[in-house]
Amino acid sequence: MVRDLADAYDNSVLYSDWFVKQIIEQARRLQVPASVTFVPDHGEASPYLDGGAVGHDGAVYVAAEFKIPAFVWINTAYRSAHPEKVAAIEANASKEIRTHDVFFTLADLMDITWPGADPTRSFASEHFVPDATKEHLARGALIERP
């Protein structure tokens, strides 16, 4: 049973990697600025790595459910057109990024602005400030960060 879960998870990651690669390869060929942003909505607990916990949204949360991989891939045309955003992303790469920063970052990457837009929420901005709160909302309840 556990082996089946591990195989299913591995296969889903393999397929996701293949799918994202197809998108990046298309964006790579574009002569106009383009970026690809990948942010899963949650991580998964592994019975092999997380003390027997499996999946996500269980009774007890493990760090793997909150610490998720994410990336921004940028083509050559975007790098030429927006070197300041590329530099900011690289400078902010080691900082904690929360999912509520993604909206502001995507808007920033596309040069979308509005009254009251907050550049401190975009990790494509030199003004980015990581959210230092220790809180997560899970199943409608506030819980401590793992």
Most confident of 4-13, 51-60, 134-143: 4-13
pTM of the shown model: 0.76
Q: What is the mean pLDDT of residues 87-100?
A: 91
The amino acid present at 3, given as its one-letter code, is: R
> What pLDDT does 37 receive?
95
Ordered DSSP codes for 33-93: --EEEE--S---B-TTTTTT--BSS-SS--GGGTS---EEEE-HHHHHH-HHHHHHHHHHT
Give the pLDDT confidence score for residue 142 in this predicted structure: 60
Structure tokens belonging to residue 37: 């942003």
